[in-house]
Structures are given as C-alpha cells and as structure tokens.
Amino acid sequence: MKLEEAITKRIYDLCEQRKISPNKLANMAGLPSATLRCIFYGRSKNPGTRTLLDICQALDITLYDFFDDPVFKTADLEGSY
C-alpha cells in the first residue's frame, strides 16, 4: 500500500468512527473542502504535516494517535516518488 493510500484510509476511518463527512471534517479543521477531496481522490500525493495537524486537532487527537494505527505498522508501505 502506498503511504498516501494509508493516510486516506486513516482519515476515512476516523470520519466513519465519528460519523462525520469529510466535508464536515474540512470545516472543523478550517481547511478548504477541496483539500480533503484531493487527498481522498489521490490528487494529493503528499499531504503536508500542517494539513495533517489541522485534521488531528479538529478530531482532538495527536499526530501520534493518527499514525498509531495498524495501517501504518507494515513494512509494505511505499512512497510515490
């Protein structure tokens, strides 16, 4: 799995757990909804740490909590360079 796919899956799973839409998450994080759309549709190959931090703060979790998920605990993750 590519890293951007793992990040997308994690954001999607967090939205599902909290029963919120990605658009609502974008609003909560103070991000343009287009930013999350780009992440979800694979147009953003490398979401910035500031964007991830904004998402985490909106969800009241830390970056550690975000990445502390089985989807990231694999040696099979690959970048997309």
Helix axes 3-18, 49-59, angle to 10 degrees: 20
Q: Is 43 exposed, middle or buried (0-12, 13-18, 19+ CB in 10 A)?
A: exposed
> Domains of the chain by range and CATH?
3-69 (1.10.260.40)
Q: What is the pLDDT of residue 70?
A: 93
pLDDT surpasses 80 at 75: no
Q: What is the pLDDT of residue 42?
A: 84
Band of pLDDT at residue 80, cut at 50, 70 and 90: low
Q: What is the pLDDT of residue 76?
A: 81
